[in-house]
Chain A
Amino acid sequence: MSAFLNIVSKDLRLALRQRSDLTMAVLFFILTAMLFPFGLGPEPNLLARIAPGIIWVTALLSVLLSLERIFLADYEDGSLEQLVLSRASLEIAILAKVLAHWLTTGLPLILAAPLIALLFNMDTEAMTILLFAMLLGTPSLSLIGAIAATLTLGARRGGVLIPLLVLPLYIPTLIFGVGAIDAAMNSLEAGAVIANARPHLLLLGAILLVSLLITPLAGAAALKQALE
Chain B
Amino acid sequence: MGLNFHLAESSALILEGPNGSGKSSLIRILSGLLRPRLGSLIWQGQDATKEPEIFQEHIHYIGHRNAIKPVLTVQENLTYWSGRDKDDTHLDMALDQFNMLPLKNTPANLLSSGQSRRLALSRLLASKRKLWLLDEPSVGLDVASIKLLEQAIAEHRSTGGSVIFATHSPIEVEAPTKLNLRDYSPLYNRALINLDDEEESWV
Contact = CB atoms under 8 A, between A and B. Distances in A.
Nearest to A13: B72
Nearest to B71: A17
A77 interface: yes
Contact of B63 (A17, A78, A86): A78
B65 interface: yes
Contacts of B7: none
A77 B57 contact: no
Contact of A81 (B59, B63, B69): B63
Interface residues of B, number: 23
Contacts of A78: 63-67
A18 B57 contact: no
A82 B72 CA distance: 17
Interface stretch (B32-40, B165-173, B188-196): B32-40
Main secondary structure of the interface of A (DSSP, over half): helix
Interface in B47-84: 56-57, 59, 61, 63-69, 71-72, 76, 80-81, 83-84
B81 A82 contact: yes
Nearest to A75: B65
B162 interface: no
Given A85-B32, A85-B61, A228-B34, A14 B69 contact: yes
Contacts of A13: 72, 76
A85 B31 CA distance: 8
B69 A85 contact: no
Interface residues of A, number: 20
B35 A87 contact: no
Interface string A186-207: 0000000000000000000000
A77 B72 contact: no
Contact of A85 (B59, B65, B84): B59
A228 B34 CA distance: 5
B67 A77 contact: yes
A79 B32 contact: no
B80 A10 contact: yes
A79 B83 CA distance: 15
A13 B84 CA distance: 16
Interface of A: 2, 6, 10, 13-14, 17-18, 73, 76-79, 81-82, 84-87, 227-228
26 contacts: A6-B83, A10-B72, A10-B80, A13-B76, A14-B69, A14-B71, A17-B72, A76-B65, A77-B65, A77-B69, A78-B63, A78-B65, A78-B66, A79-B69, A81-B63, A81-B65, A84-B33, A85-B31, A85-B32, A85-B33, A85-B59, A85-B61, A86-B81, A87-B56, A227-B33, A228-B35
Given A73-B69, A81-B63, A87-B56, 6 more contacts: A2-B83, A6-B83, A17-B71, A77-B66, A81-B67, A228-B33
